[in-house]
Amino acid sequence: MAEIGWITGAGSGLGRETALRLARRGWRLAVSGRNRERLEALAAEAPVGTIHPYVVDVTDREAMEAAAAAIREEMGPLDLALFNAGDYEPMGLDQFDADLFRRIMEVNYLGVINGIQAVLGRMAPGGQVVLTASVAGYRGLPRAAPYGASKAAVISMAESLEPEFRARGLRLRVVNPGFIRTPLTAKNDFHMPALMEPGAAADALVAGLLGRGFEIHFPKRFTRVMKVLRCLPIRLYLALTGRMLRG
């Protein structure tokens, strides 16, 4: 019997490419986003009958609940829920904007919370809930305060909930990618080390889904450096990020 999954943020980038790869492996997938045309184009590109669009905004809690109920009714219990929808906008202190923090947090953090609430009770035994965060959530980075804070919140929340998920026979996991070439990262005006194409990032994500670890991170040559920086004493780390800002 085919495994069943739900991917949000599937209209483009990492979500889209991951959906295609899982569909080609025989999965039946519900894919979500706000743009119906993009979702239907994705379904048309995948093997027939493998991808089923559900138009939904992750910031709408009731709509997420309704989508999860419809997916459970029409497709069956979920083996995978990948909450991948995200938003990003660089911001320096001169452009400080509380509304931007709110917008980013609504999508990147509360959108994930809405997803978790929607699928609790609708997962298959042993199913996994996978949350797309970012290495930007490891520590604060210049001009990434709204985005990094939202991703740090996802990581912390997942670490808090993982033991209870495990006790219920479910898996809660976090994806921490580096830079991926998307319309969102195109907003950056700086060099992005180890920039990945969406297809290569999706290959790494799918390989990670087949593993057992709590964290899936890629590309390793970049994420391992970020993990080292995570361990630096705060004085050294702030001196380094200060130089990044001047650069």
pLDDT in tens, 125-168: 999 999 999 999 999 999 999 999 999 999 999 999 999 999 99
Domain extent, residue 241, equals 4-246
| 19, 46 contact by CB (below 8 A) | yes
- Positive or negative, the Cα torsion across 151, 154, 155, 156? positive
> pLDDT averaged over the chain?
96
Structure tokens, 188: 């950056």
User: pLDDT class for 50, splitting at 50, 70, 90?
Assistant: very high
pLDDT in tens, 174-229: 999 999 999 999 999 889 999 999 999 999 999 999 999 999 999 999 999 999 99
Structure tokens, 23: 């569909």
Here the CATH number for the domain that contains residue 226 is 3.40.50.720
54 is catalytic: no
Number of domain units in the chain: 1
User: pLDDT class for 244, splitting at 50, 70, 90?
Assistant: confident
pLDDT of the residue at 247:
58
Report the distance separating Cα 139 and Cα 196, nearest Å: 21
- Positive or negative, the Cα torsion across 113, 114, 120, 126? negative
Q: Which residues contact 124 (CB under 8 A, 6 or more apart)?
A: 4, 76, 77, 78, 79
| 28, 50 contact by CB (below 8 A) | yes
Write down the catalytic residue from 88, 109, 147, 237.
147
